[in-house]
Amino acid sequence: MKLRSKMGSIAVEDKQHTQLPVIDLSPFLQSSSDQERLHSAEELVKACKEIGFCFIKGHGVPQDKIQEAFAVSKKFYALPQEEKMKAPHPPGWAVHRGYSWPGLEKVSNAVSENDAKDEADKLREVQDFKESYEVGSEDNPDMPNVWPPDEVLPEWRPCMTAFYWTCWEAAQNILKALALGLGIEEKLMMEPHSGHHNQLRLLHYPPIRASELQGGKFARMPAHTDWTTITMLFQDDCGGLQVESPTQRGTFIDADPVPDTLVLNVGDLLMRWSNDYLKSTQHRVQPPPLEDRYEGEQRMTRARYSIPYFVTTDPDVTIECLRLQDGRPPQYEPITQRDYSDMRARMQY
Ligand SMILES: O=C(O)CCC(=O)C(=O)O
Ligand SMILES: [Fe+2]
């Protein structure tokens, strides 16, 4: 994976580019000094409280594993359509695994108490121009994985199952850092997460004419929040990810790729769990901001590959608002992850 070399501190004065903070987690992971660990954890919580998004460096996911996952993902998406269709996403919303072809999934922020089909159909008028593949734990009985026959791409299943657990290693450290920074007991954060209910998603946004994206016929990914506790996202060098400004609603700031970092965001469940102390922020994928990401007279955009890893609590654990230092009374009823995500999933498929 080639990443643009705009590394290091954030150029706050440079309005064209990223203004998301870069948090270094290596002191939390490596330092023997309690003070340094606490400082790193508090910086992380500050970013999650103020913006709900940040870049993390020193996250502990080995670079070669990330590169391997991107390389294998590209190989999968380069397969003929009929090969990819050998691992189709099951019909309906209840099981979110396997391959979703362009147009199948529609990302939105809608929340449904019932099967509001008309509403879901209306949302589909603008198609998401992307394809994706969802992978979970092999020991999650609620959502069995969907795999193509081995001969389609022999390395697919071993690579993606291994990467799922590599990401979980890093995710646990991020959750522990959040607990430390929030001043809550580590086990309060860790016990609801067995690691078997996360989701690894391989995303491919094929090249498309800029005019079709800009004309509103197709979208890469419309604005939405994630349903998770946290999401870790790896992105290639295409660009296009944008995050809603914490101070100006409706204004989005570019989250251009920063080498050797992952993008971390707070999901809806953690926002609710933290009693709105941490923010789950809208984000979207737009045409790439940079002109060298387009080709030819048709201004075809470059393809984008990204790999989000969604971390969620076990489905039947009840999430009750944490009582944090700010002393705010609970704003939400207790809810299980199962009830919450069922409500959201009905609108996507
Ligand atoms: O492709 C991206 O960078 C964003 C993906 C995303 O936000 C999602 O899948 O929820
Ligand atoms: Fe997202």
Q: ipTM score here?
A: 0.99
Contact 132, 100 (CB under 8 A): yes
Cα dist from 20 to 9, 44, 118, 223, 234, whole Å: 10, 12, 37, 17, 15
Query: Which ligand 1 atom minimizes the distance to the CA of 235?
Result: 3
Listed residue (139, 197, 214, 178) closest to 322, CA to CA: 178
Which residues sit with their C-beta closer than 6 Å to ligand 1? 201, 203, 221, 226, 233, 235, 241, 283, 285, 306, 308
Q: Provide CB contacts within 8 A for 130, sequence distance 6+.
A: 102, 105, 203, 204, 205, 206, 220, 221
Give the pTM: 0.89
Q: Provide the H-helix boundaries in the chain.
A: 26-30, 34-50, 63-77, 81-84, 117-123, 156-182, 186-190, 210-214, 268-273, 337-345
Burial (Cβ within 10 Å: 0-12, 13-18, ≥19) of residue 299: middle
Q: Whose CA is nearest to atom 8 of ligand 1?
A: 308
State in Å: Cα 308 to ligand 1 middle: 6
Residues 291-334 pLDDT 10s: 888 888 888 888 999 999 999 999 999 999 998 877 889 999 99
Residues 213-261 pLDDT 10s: 777 777 789 999 998 999 999 999 999 999 999 888 899 999 999 999 9
Q: In the β-sheet with 131-135, what is the strand arrangement from edge to edge?
A: 22-24, 53-57, 261-266, 230-235, 304-311, 199-205, 131-135, 98-100
State in Å: Cα 294 to ligand 1 middle: 20
Query: Which ligand 1 atom minimizes the distance to the CA of 263?
Result: 3
Longest dimension (CA), the chain: 58
State in Å: Cα 36 to ligand 2 middle: 31
State in Å: Cα 326 to ligand 1 middle: 31
Listed residue (83, 21, 18) closest to 239, CA to CA: 18
Structural domains of the chain, with CATH: 2-345 (2.60.120.330)
**Ligand at shortest distance from the CA of 238:** 1
